[in-house]
Amino acid sequence: MNPLNVSSTDIILTGDRTTGQLHLGHYVGSLANRVILQDICPQFLLLADAQALTDNMGNYVKVRDNVLQVALDYLAVGIDPQKSTIFIQSLVPELSELSSYYLNLVTVARLERNPTIKDEIKQRGYERDIPAGFLTYPAAQAADITAFKATVVPVGSDQVPMIEQTNEIVRRFNNSVAREVLVEARAVVPENGSRLPGIDGKAKMSKSLGNSLALSSSEDEIRQAVKMMFTDPNHLRVADPGQVEGNVVFTYLDAFDRDSAGVAELKEHYRRGGLGDRVIKQRLENCLLELLEPIRARREALAQDPGEIMSILKAGTARARETAGRTLSEVKAAMGLNYF
Ligand code: TRP
């Protein structure tokens, strides 16, 4: 079985807001799985530029430019556009049309209660001045998911309430037309899901926290990041016993070093004392270089020809539109809005 218990009859949809390049946390939490899952069932990958604008008012250049950057990240890690359909959200107007119908199936109170929305309103300091598009993005996300009749949505744990709200909309819609037009989806959160801590040891790796390592990082940047990483602040001399729990270097070794027996031995030695931070950092540096160097090189090669990347996205978007258009027609027909 694959890491997420997905079968060949499933349909996957997931995506990323195009607000910045992807980093190591994205790789562990989702990109690595997508590379595996694309061989198991159809997989739609959404470059969520329209959703990115819901909390990036006026930042058109950033959101637009990162469509290409995120696409480069996808391709560099091995997502294959022959197997996965990569598409640009704003170029599939069927999604906004679906979303406009779904908005009639949710209340403002329910949107305000959505835990993800609540958190994000707090983080962004909106208080009562919430952009309406932001408050209602759960309905838009329901459109993203249901347009493809997705059964599986791999996401980080912060996105689970979005899938719950999507399924509420699905049930409400199907009830309202007394037909099973839309399909419920299950959120699958990978076990190690997006929980890679930042290089500073903070709970989450995030570009905005400045504690991330981009997939495009150079050797120097990787070395620098490892150098800055927290270990055990009480492990002052090599001979001292050290703590493994909460030690970022070990957390990363657990995530990236395939020789887990070797890592277990290192942990033993570290706990006992006599193992210096230099040694474990060197080992981690080697692991990260081995993982990231080919990704960086591939990304750089792909970036030479942005026109080629855009034509991949154009083809993917055309495929996505076909599927979304079929669902939209079914939805409208079920509501009796098929006049001619
Ligand atoms: N909300 C997701 C994020 O912030 C991006 C996204 C948009 C998404 N539409 C989606 C994820 C549909 C899964 C399914 O990362």
Give 276-295 pLDDT, tens digit per residue. Answer: 999 999 999 999 999 999 99
Question: Domain residues for 17?
Answer: 12-195+306-334
With a 6 A CB cut-off, is 153 part of the ligand 1 pocket?
yes
Distance 14 CA to ligand 1 centre (A): 6
pLDDT (mean) for 84-106: 98
| CATH code of 293's domain | 1.10.240.10
Gap between the Cα atoms of 107 and 113, Å rounded: 10
What Cα–Cα distance (Å) separates residue 103 from each residue in 128, 183, 197? 20, 17, 36
Compute, in angstroms, the gap from residue 116 CA to the centroid of ligand 1. Answer: 12
If asked whether residues 315 and 279 sit together in one domain, one would say no
Task: Give me the mean pLDDT over the 6-20 stretch.
Answer: 97
CA 24 to chain centre: 11
CATH of the domain at 82: 3.40.50.620
Overall number of domains in the chain: 2
90 and 50 in a common domain: yes
Identify the pLDDT of residue 201.
Answer: 86
Q: Percent of the chain beyond pLDDT 90?
A: 88
Confidence band, pLDDT 50/70/90 cuts, at residue 203: confident
Within this chain, do residues 148 and 43 fall inside the same structural domain, yes or no? yes
Residue 29's pLDDT is what? 86
Pocket flag, ligand 1, residue 20 (CB < 6 Å)? no
70 and 190 within one domain: yes
245, 313: one domain: no
Average pLDDT over residues 68-83: 98
Whether residue 104 is predicted with pLDDT greater than 80 in this model: the reply is yes
For residue 194, pLDDT over 60 is answered with no
Which of 33, 51, 84, 169 has most ligand 1 atoms within 8 Å of its beta carbon, as the pocket-test mutant? 51
Which residue, among 153, 155, 210, has the nearest Cα to 29 in the 3D structure? Answer: 155
pLDDT (mean) for 149-160: 94
Average pLDDT value for the chain: 95
Q: Is 50 in the pocket of ligand 1 (CB under 6 A)?
A: no
For residue 10 and ligand 1, the question of a CB distance below 6 A is answered with no
Atom of ligand 1 nearest to the CA of 17: 5
Taking the CA of residue 156 as reference, the ligand 1 atom at the shortest distance is 15
Residue 143 lies in a domain: yes
pLDDT of residue 209 exceeding 90: no
| 326 in the same domain as 247 | no
Q: Are strands 84-88 and 43-48 parallel, antiparallel or unpaired?
A: parallel
Distance CA(272)–CA(121), nearest Å, equals: 46
Work out the pLDDT band at 2, boundaries 50, 70, 90.
confident
pLDDT at 154 over 60: yes
Cα(16) to ligand 1 centroid in Å equals 5
Q: Is residue 201 part of a domain?
A: no
Determine the distance separating the centroid of ligand 1 and the alpha carbon of 247, expressed in angstroms. Answer: 31
How far apart, in whole angstroms, are the C-alpha atoms of residue 270 and residue 286?
Answer: 19
Whether 257 is in the pocket of ligand 1, judged by its Cβ within 6 Å, is no
- Determine if ligand 1 sits within 6 Å of the CB of residue 181: no
Site to probe by mutation for ligand 1, drawn from 4, 17, 137, 160 as the one with most ligand atoms within 8 Å of Cβ, is: 17
Residue 314 has pLDDT above 70, yes or no: yes
Q: Residue 9 burial (CB < 10 Å; 0-12/13-18/19+)?
A: exposed
* Alpha carbon nearest to ligand 1 atom 13, residue: 14
Q: Is 145 in the pocket of ligand 1 (CB under 6 A)?
A: yes
53 lies in the same domain as 172:
yes
Does ligand 1 have an atom closer than 6 angstroms to the CB of 165? no
User: Is the CB–ligand 1 distance for residue 48 below 6 Å?
Assistant: yes
